Structure 1
Amino acid sequence: MADMEVNLSFPADSVLDALENRLEKYDTERPPGPTKEVLTEEELAIKIARLDELESSLLPSIQNLVGPLVTSLGLRPDSNPNFESTCNILSTLDEAWWQTVLSIESAAFGVIPDSTKDHHLKRCKDFTCSQLINIISNLKRHLFPLLKCAILFMKSLKVSSDDVERISYRNQQSNLRYHAANASAMMRETMKSLHRSDFQIIQDKWQEQEASLDRLLLALTRLTGPRLVRRRNGASALSVHVVELAKLSLPLIKLARTFSKQVSRTTTSKLLFTLDTNLNSKTLSRLHKHPESIETCFSKLISVLYTASIHNVLADGRAVLRNWVQNISQTFESTLLLLVLHLIPLASLETDRDSAGNNFKAWFAAWHEAWHRAVDNFLNTLQRFERQNQQPLAPPRA
């Protein structure tokens, strides 16, 4: 900026304060609307109109304003700040934000069909529309810092416009570019998300679980490491038992990760399949929530084992361990049943549809057998230790 002739025309404090005050209302949320078994044609038309408006007008308008905002702040090469334009753009962005929120809430809330009877509504299903609420969260998380930073940027320069080359100024520029890049990337992903099928939304959730299971697997591996084993109070019977259970938990997590990978990456797998598009929202929601439920149970299982290894006390933890493993197994059973009933095998260049279906069923059958074997090994070992009636006591106090 030293080489540029900059004529900064600052907006009034009241303008900046008004813009900043608007940001404080971004956390406002509307409660869900009433539920109906069947939507009227008018109610369905309203939802479709809101979705069309989001895709064709509102979200593109937000996306198209990020670039001009950056230019108006003088953040592009050979551009000078024009704060009057910045304020106009911020006001337009704010208005576009609220129109977007209202349209999303109208589509996602409004009048909601019964989740067990909305299979025919396609993109107006409760499951599909409820995913739109994530758009509000993402917009708020990425747009709010950009708008806030732009306002603070103008306020700070207004106090001392002679210090435009200070380090703090360059830091603010860097922050603005960072938030602008994040907002642009988020808008591109948001636009793509509107075209994602219900199955792709579910696949994304299972794919997220892979990374979480990798972290849990690492924690479990450390729990079975030789250095930690040697530190455990002279390798008591409980210590040996905990290590054994931890080792038997490893194949459970590995199999869970394999299952998640198969479900979430069907497009690159030899076993190609898609999901029946006529599922209701209740069934879709179950498939979508199962990965998180499985991950939570595994986390609690590892936490119990880790606590037992540190304090050399398991007490009621055996019953808890059994419950977590059984809960995980029941969730997988439910998931597997839904997939077998509703996944549709796809033919490839190498196989026809019938062969693809047989391969698909064979893979899940083999996985199912391996899973039950791993669960039985864990539960049998847990039961064997209980029968030995070696309930440990806490170490005596010094």
Structure 2
Amino acid sequence: MKFGTKAIHAGVQPDPATSAIMTPIYQTSTYALESPGKHKGYTYSRSHNPTRTALQEALASLENGTAGICFASGQAATDAVLKMYRPGDEIIVSSDLYGGTYRIMKKLYEPAGLIFRFADLSEPRILHELITEKTKLVWIETPTNPLLKITDIGQITTICKSKGVQVAVDNTFASPYLQNPLDLGADIVMHSVTKYLGGHSDVIMGALIVRDEGLSETLSFIQNTAGAVPGPQDCFLVLRGLKTLHLRMQRHCENAAVVAQWLTENPKVGAVYYPGLAAHPQHELARKQMRGFGGMLSFELKGDVYDDAVRVFERFKLFALAESLGGVESLCAHPATMSHASFPPEERLKMGVKDTLIRLSVGVEDIDDIITDLAQAIG
């Protein structure tokens, strides 16, 4: 099936009890057994739930994987990956990444003995120098949050496979509509399902998608044992959201492209970070690796004055200043005090995340209204 058809039908079958087209919300904690050890595949909803099963199968299909494993949040999904490793194991991480990922690595797992090496992986050949006999995993985001850098997944995975190192890709910004890391050789795909997959800012959830049976068994064991699972209501909402993923992503991409071009032509705007712009340093890589450029972008005003950026945030009417991204509504964010507040100030500046950086999650509203709001906010 093509992507749009899979988005609507993958993982979903008419309910066997009633032939209902939509997957029911199985709001139950437990299931009756016919006799000890004899059941219909479900015993306790921390382990398995039919609504969650349908969602996991749908996500696996959209990412061209064989298994999807859902968690109560994107952070819980990241946590499950890190639980696979032991003190002394080394993980190489792209330095431009979500602050929550940095926080869990530095504040929870580094004190527990894992070794993290943060590096600019825009040139994958650096891995030949970075990978040691202790290296077990390379973790990347692409596009990155919030500077929209593009990492060459194919080159990263080729190098890592030659050295027996696994690769995990945070695919949240792209969504499976624009990019499928497993097809490019990655071992694990992580999503903050909260964002584009849910798409309506009403769910907190994370997911991992894999092809390898051993990885699937290990991560499913962690999911069940640690118990950070999503409830059936949230799974139902994401199943509903997936049905319009292809339609929403198309509009997100169209609107963001117009916004990015408008910002480049605005005399008050300095740098614009969007991989769809020809001036973006990895534009050609993005064209090769992705099927579109997404709905996320960041920009800075000329003069680099913090108070000017604050005034823009305060003058927005359509764009809401809020955490998160990927919903149908347009949002703006201040990475330095929001998504990347966990980074020490010197680390943020080293990454290029200035206190004046403005990040936009461009929604699916009428593009004329989006531009009107930008114009009056920037002044």
Q: Is TM-score (shorter-chain normalized) higher than 0.5?
A: no
Per residue, is there more helix in 1 or in 2? 1
The TM-score normalised by the length of structure 1 is 0.27
TM-score by length of 2: 0.28
